[in-house]
Amino acid sequence: MSTDRNDVTVNNLDTSGDEASFAETALTLGGKSQEEARRTGAIDKADDQVESLFSPQYQTVHSPAHRAVWERGLPIELFQSAEPETPSDVAKVMDDAVAVVERHRTAGTLMNNDQKICNLVLDDLAEVGYWGLLVDREHGGTGAPFRSFASFLTRMAMSDPTIAGLASVHGCIGAVDPVRTFGTDEQKRRFLPDLASGKRLSAFALTEPGAGSDLTALRTTAKLKGDEYVVNGEKLFITNVVPGRTIGLVCLIDDRPAVLICDLPEEESDQFQLRKYGLHALKHTYNRGIIFNDFRVPASNLLQPIKGSGLTIAYHGLNLGRIALCANAAGTMRLMMASMIPWAKFRKTYGEAIAQRELVQRRLGRMAGLIVACDALVAWCSGLIDEGYRGEMECIVAKIFGSESQKEAAVELFMKTHGGRSFLAGHMFGDNVHEYLAPCIYEGEGEMLGMAFFKSLVKHHGTTYFEPIGKALAAAGIKHPNPMNPAHAWALKGVLPPYANWVMSQTLWPKPRPGLPAMPPRLREHAEFAAAGLQNSPLEISGTMRKHQLKLADRQCRMSELSLRIQKLVVMLCTSLYGARHDDEVIRDAADLMCQDLARELTGRRPSDRYFRHATQLGAAIADGKFKSINGLHPDEILMPYEDE
């Protein structure tokens, strides 16, 4: 995974047409340069091209999150998830892969002398088919349903989060997804069998030293000479890039982003070098920079999507990686919980184990809520992917919530329960704190992605109502519209009534109640709250667009705050529905607690004594071993030895 794979905030509308769109007008009149308009337009165009890869009914405007806000009547069925049906041969690969990791962990052979995942482990995982889970059967893989793969990553993360992460790097954001989705039949036959067998493992090379959030600032180039491309440039923060690997390289060809599949040589040379640097996160993997100096790649390795450019390819795999990140977080937090419980029973203050203390019990209850909510988002989003949805908005929600939950769990729950010993060399927290925090940056920094979520949420509304108004104002040369000015009103006479009618329809007609399934009363209350919040949000969102008009792109704080509120409502709805379909009372109680926390964050209400009783009773049940999915986990020693660094 890359440590700097950020989306950028862009205006509402595509700037790819010959006629200046409202988005470009907004950039220009709002004080932005034509260069910024061109760059953000290129990003928006790539986003539209990704949209075009999906059938209309599965595009963003028809996605569950978008429909929940803008349609009259919330489609509850699109927020429900189901247990994955995993084919038996796929399940065997998964079982065998976990057994490989556990065997090496027991034998002490998981890491090499550099404390990186040992090559023997990677080879043994290849033998059981681990690297081919997302490769189609016809090319040597097992073609696992993504919902099965995503939930399995949580299980693998409980054995080793790094190895779970490598499966995501290889299959989601590495070369597997680009070749599967955009490769020709010949390219699939050439690359996928080796990627499925593990003979070649893959990475994705996008980030550059000077190009993080701004993906249009690429500098690496590839020039065609004969039947080869000659590559020059530098890439940074590339996980799993060691000699002998296969990468998807994003570069400029004829000043346009493109993707080349590159087989890297076994040894460095004047044409290919690895740049080493100190990196606190991803310490158990080989994360390196790459320097290309007239490095040659066969021209037949160029991926050529029917629609779009290299940015289209780069964007496509991000959704899978975002779900995988949330799944990994759910497994990693289970390891934290499994470490907290024995220590809480061992550690005594004033003669009583801290497992009996309310603060520790509340932490365990909160941890369970975060885990169950992540499980809910993983199950929901991966199901949407399998059904054919693009799922961009939904996967952003999963990524942000999963990474922020892991950060909170590590610092506020795990570290504080273990106290000062958290910082001893050899302790899970001290040794892995950067691993726990870094996912907030992976696959897009959270607040930046939140604005991308907001962009996707308002794009269709802006195109339908605000773009015609913006074009009319631009045509009339009006920079500061005033509806009371007769000349301004005349300029808007043909484009303002549709928007006025929409506002009236939102104001005058109540939204129908959602058709919820059978649910426990407490979870039904949360689902109704979330559904009402989503259905009542269009006027505020549209009002924000109307208020800030051409300056909206500069109002990052407002967009981020409003986006986060919508995301919390989505998490609340998914978590309540997920909890309701489980018979396990601990899962239901954890879902209930998480929804209560989200509701308080949205309303500002103070916690009641009843809430604290609920949280501490749940924590006590977890301390007694009733959170079943962590049973049998022993991630560390209760009283760790004191060792030198």
Question: Exposed/middle/buried for 626, CB within 10 Å: 0-12, 13-18, 19+?
Answer: middle
Euclidean distance between CA atoms 149 and 378, whole angstroms: 10
Residue 507 has pLDDT above 50, yes or no: yes
Helix axes 446-461 and 392-408, enclosed angle (nearest 10): 150
Contacts for 495-502: CB closer than 8 Å, 24+ residues apart: 495/468, 495/469, 495/471, 496/469, 498/464, 498/465, 498/468, 499/465, 499/466, 499/469, 502/465, 502/542
Flag whether pLDDT at 99 surpasses 60. yes
Q: Using the predicted structure, report yes or no on whether residue 7 has a pLDDT greater than 50.
A: no
Ordered by start, the domain boundaries in the chain are 88-198, 203-303
Q: In the numeric block, which tokens belong to residue 194? A: 């080796």
**What is each CA distance from 77 to 38, 48, 82, 453, 574, in whole angstroms?**
40, 27, 11, 22, 11
Distance CA 322, CA 391 (A): 11
Instruction: Compute the distance between CA of residue 527 and CA of residue 518 in angstroms, rounded to an integer.
Output: 11
Structure tokens at 505: 């329809």
**pLDDT at residue 2 is higher than 70:** no
In this structure, CATH architecture of domain 203-303: Beta Barrel (2.40)
Residue 212 DSSP symbol: S
Query: Tokens 């199901």 label which residue?
Result: 383
**Residue bearing tokens 């308009």:** 37
Q: Confidence band (pLDDT; 50, 70, 90) for 185?
A: very high
Residue 136: HSE in the Cβ half-sphere, 13 Å Cα cutoff: 11
Which segment of 92-96, 115-119, 213-217 scores lowest on mean pLDDT? 213-217
Structure tokens that stand for 80 in this block? 């429900």
| pLDDT over threshold 60, residue 130 | yes
The span from the CA of 133 to the CA of 337, in Å, is: 28
- pLDDT at position 35, please? 59
> What pLDDT, in 10s, does the model give residues 296-312?
999 999 998 876 677 78
Phi-psi region of 73 (alpha: psi -120 to 50; beta: other; left: phi over 0): left
Please give the model's pTM, rounded to 2 decimal places.
0.92
Residue 96 has pLDDT above 80, yes or no: yes
Predicted local confidence at residue 25, as pLDDT: 36
Report the pLDDT averaged over residues 394-419.
98
pLDDT, position 136: 96
Residues 6+ away with beta carbon under 8 Å from 479 = 29, 473
For residue 212, the model assigns a pLDDT of 65
Q: Using pLDDT thresholds of 50, 70 and 90, give the confidence band for residue 20.
A: very low
pLDDT at 580 over 80: yes
**pLDDT of 624 above 80:** yes
In this prediction, residue 389 carries a pLDDT of 95
Name the CATH architecture for the domain at 88-198.
Answer: Orthogonal Bundle (1.10)
- Dig out the tokens for 36 from the structure: 């910024």
Arithmetic mean of pLDDT, 402-415: 98
**What pLDDT score does 27 carry?**
36
User: Mean of the pLDDT values across residues 493-522?
Assistant: 93
- Give the side-chain half-sphere CA count within 13 A for 6: 21
Q: Which residues lie below 8 Å from residue 171, measured CB to CB, with a gap of 6+?
A: 131, 133, 134, 135, 149, 177, 320
Residue range 51-78: mean pLDDT, rounded: 94
Instruction: Tell me what pLDDT residue 561 has.
Output: 96
To which residue do tokens 């796929």 refer? 90
Identify any residues that bridge with 117 across adjacent strands, giving them in sequence order: 111
Burial class from Cβ neighbours inside 10 Å (0-12, 13-18, 19+) for residue 185 reads exposed
Q: How far apart are the first and last CA of the chain?
A: 28
Confidence (pLDDT) at 288: 93
Give the pLDDT score at 435.
97
**Cβ–Cβ contacts within 10 Å for residue 515, how many?**
11
Instruction: Give CA–CA dist 75/66, Å, rounded.
Output: 10
pLDDT greater than 70 at residue 546: yes
Do 203-303 and 88-198 have the same topology in CATH? Answer: no
Average pLDDT over residues 209-221: 77
pLDDT value at 14 more than 80:
no
CA distances, 582 to each of 83, 558, 577, 615 (Å): 10, 37, 9, 19
Q: Which residues contact 467 (CB under 8 A, 6 or more apart)?
A: 12, 13, 21, 22, 23
Answer yes or no: is pLDDT of 12 > 70: no
Residue 441 region by backbone torsions, left for phi larger than 0, else alpha for psi between -120 and 50, else beta: alpha
Question: Could you tell me the sign of the dihedral formed by the alpha carbons of 498, 499, 502, 508, in that order?
Answer: negative
Q: 277 with 213: CB under 8 angstroms?
A: no
State the helix-helix crossing angle for 34-51 and 22-29, rounded to 10 degrees.
150
Cα 463 to Cα 545, 566, 575, distances in angstroms: 12, 20, 32
The stretch 488-515 carries a mean pLDDT of: 92
pLDDT of residue 483: 76
> Cα–Cα distance between 573 and 526 in angstroms, integer?
7
* Predicted confidence (pLDDT) per residue in 346-389, tens digit: 999 999 999 999 999 999 999 999 999 999 999 999 999 999 99
Greater confidence (4 vs 607) lies with: 607
pLDDT higher than 50, residue 11: no
Rounded mean pLDDT, 151-176: 96
Confidence of residue 243 (pLDDT cuts 50, 70, 90): low
pLDDT score, position 215? 66
Q: Supply the Cα-derived Rg of the chain in whole angstroms.
A: 25
For residues 526-538, average pLDDT: 97
Output the pLDDT for position 447.
93
Judged against a pLDDT cut of 80, whether residue 157 lies above it is answered with yes
Per DSSP, the residues of 587-615 read HHHHHHHHHHHHHHHHH-PPPPHHHHHHH
Average pLDDT score, the chain: 90
CB count within 10 Å of CB 279 equals 15
427 close to 418: Cβ distance less than 8 angstroms: yes
Number of residues in the chain = 645
The residues that bridge with 253 in the sheet, in sequence order, are: 256
